[in-house]
Amino acid sequence: MRSDPARLSFEIVARDGDARAGVLRTPRGSVETPCFVPLATRGSVKGLVPDEVADAGYGMVLGNTYHLMLRPGGERIATLGGLHRFMGWEGPIITDSGGFQVFSLAFGGVADEIKGRRGRPPLDGGVLGIDEEGVRFRSYIDGSERFLSPERSMELQAQLGSDIAVAFDECTPYHADYDYTARSTERTLRWLERCLDWHRDGGPPGQAVFGIVQGGVHEELRRASAEATAAAAVDGIAIGGTLGRDKEQMGAVVAMTAAMTPPAAARHLLGIGEPDDLVDGIAVGIDSFDCAVPTRLARHGMVLAPLPDRRYRYDVRRRAHESEPGPLVTGCPCAACTRFSRAYLHHLSRAEEMTGARLLTIHNLVYSQRLVAGAREAIIAGRLSAYRESIHAGAAPWEAS
């Protein structure tokens, strides 16, 4: 770990057990933690404009290097003044490395697969080759051959001009065996050094770099990865790779891995964002999360709600909601719940109207934001355990105590 306030500083303002409330400071502004980071995958939080994301309580978004390198390209965004200016977002931006997407292609799955919920798929999906140098793959847009490596990923993230770049890693899936995972984890550490080498000279002055802890579900691999990552000149720690076959194992792997990282480090958990996972992750010391869940669910008519027995969601397209004059979730302060009925959002979602996807996106993002903001308050008040139990028992974020 290095400490350079000109890039990033992380101040812990309160602790409650292993959980922490903090402030993450970047040259483009500060974000209170724990926080959730919405995805601006291709340069927009799908359906929203930046003001709406900020109004939902968010200070930071995540841009996808993989998607942006394919379209419109890192050079073009650099020419146009960087990703902040391109998309009209003035606050901090994290960019991922592109590794997750490109290895999802290779291993055949996306998030569900990486998290171990599927059987082993064939290696293909546009990936032409993986070796020590990097990954060759075909663009899903025009079929052209592309290359991603530690250096290229850092160069792209420099072109995007994000405030937090993430080192290029091999994201191993759950079905990989111990030996593969061990070799892959070692390679990720070699790639981290190459990322930091490139960034030392080529990185934008204010850009922080997070290393990614890999190691699958194996304690000794996670420990080796965590220790080596913390020993490198990184500004923060991200936890990546497979977290196990189910939520129970995921909780254990996240808790174990968080405890292996330095207490002062900002800890980001990649790709996790269901309501119970957020409060559980916060309880074991995660400071930030990014995930497609709230925004992707919204585009499929799924509404985040205090329903622990139903994975904290319901399908507003179901007939049961067709005549409901009340809001999506009682008491929710979002623009969808305060202005429109569940019956109207049922109708818009069934009719596949853009306005419906957009309003549900706002709801799901406000719901997630209130959940983590409530956890922060609870940490400061020393009652996170009760808050977490309350969320698990079916309380809405604004009524959990």
Instruction: Specify whether 290 is catalytic.
Output: yes
Site for its own copies in 51-110 (CB under 8 A): 71-72, 76, 79-81, 86-88
Q: How far is CA 44 from CA 53, 67, 204, 333, in A?
A: 10, 12, 22, 23
- By CB under 8 A, name the one of 35, 189, 297, 357 that touches its own copies: 357
Least separation in angstroms between residue 215's CB and its own copies is 34
- By CB under 8 A, name the one of 11, 14, 30, 42 that touches its own copies: 42
Is residue 48 part of the contact set for its own copies (CB under 8 A)? yes
- Cβ burial of 246 (10 Å; 0-12, 13-18, 19+) is exposed
Q: Which residues of 114-150 are buried (b: 16+ CB within 10 A; e: fewer)?
A: bbbebeeeeeebebeebeeebbbbeeeeeeeebebbb
Least separation in angstroms between residue 207's CB and its own copies is 22
What gap in Å lies between CA 378 and CA 384, rounded to an integer?
5
Tokens standing for 22? 């903090």
- By CB under 8 A, name the one of 90, 112, 145, 353 that touches its own copies: 353
Considering the complex, state which of residue 323 and residue 401 has its C-beta at the smaller distance from its own copies: 323
Least separation in angstroms between residue 144's CB and its own copies is 15
Rounded-to-10 torsion of CA 214, 219, 224, 230: 70
Tokens standing for 141? 């847009």
Please tell me the total number of residues recorded for the chain in this structure: 401
Considering the complex, state which of residue 32 and residue 324 has its C-beta at the smaller distance from its own copies: 324
What gap in Å lies between CA 237 and CA 240, rounded to an integer?
10
- By CB under 8 A, name the one of 26, 33, 44, 162 that touches its own copies: 44
Binding-residue pattern over the window 294 to 333 for its own copies, x denoting contact by CB under 8 A:
----------------------------xx-x--------
Least separation in angstroms between residue 355's CB and its own copies is 4
Of 96, 32, 239, 168, the closest CA to residue 83 belongs to: 96
| Stretch of 45-53, 108-116, 229-237, 270-278 contacting its own copies, by CB under 8 A | 45-53
Using CB under 8 A, count the residues that bind its own copies: 38
What gap in Å lies between CA 76 and CA 91, rounded to an integer?
21
| Stretch of 122-130, 250-258, 274-282, 340-348 contacting its own copies, by CB under 8 A | 340-348
What gap in Å lies between CA 174 and CA 171, rounded to an integer?
10
Of 326, 347, 324, 346, the closest CA to residue 337 belongs to: 326
What gap in Å lies between CA 36 and CA 57, rounded to an integer?
10
Neighbour count for residue 264 (Cβ, 10 Å): 12
Q: Which of 16, 280, 287, 290 is catalytic?
A: 290
CB 101 within 8 A of CB 62: no
Instruction: Specify whether 177 is catalytic.
Output: no
Is residue 43 part of the contact set for its own copies (CB under 8 A)? yes
Least separation in angstroms between residue 186's CB and its own copies is 36
Considering the complex, state which of residue 205 and residue 325 has its C-beta at the smaller distance from its own copies: 325
- By CB under 8 A, name the one of 174, 314, 340, 367 that touches its own copies: 340
- By CB under 8 A, name the one of 136, 187, 311, 350 that touches its own copies: 350
Is residue 45 part of the contact set for its own copies (CB under 8 A)? yes
- Which DSSP letter does residue 233 get? S
- By CB under 8 A, name the one of 1, 12, 14, 49 that touches its own copies: 49
What gap in Å lies between CA 368 and CA 124, rounded to an integer?
35
Least separation in angstroms between residue 88's CB and its own copies is 6
Least separation in angstroms between residue 335's CB and its own copies is 8
- By CB under 8 A, name the one of 12, 78, 335, 373 that touches its own copies: 335
What gap in Å lies between CA 46 and CA 38, rounded to an integer?
10
Q: Enumerate binding residues for its own copies (CB under 8 A).
A: 42-49, 71-72, 76, 79-81, 86-88, 322-323, 325, 335, 339-341, 343-344, 346-348, 350-351, 353-359
Residues designated as active site: 96, 290
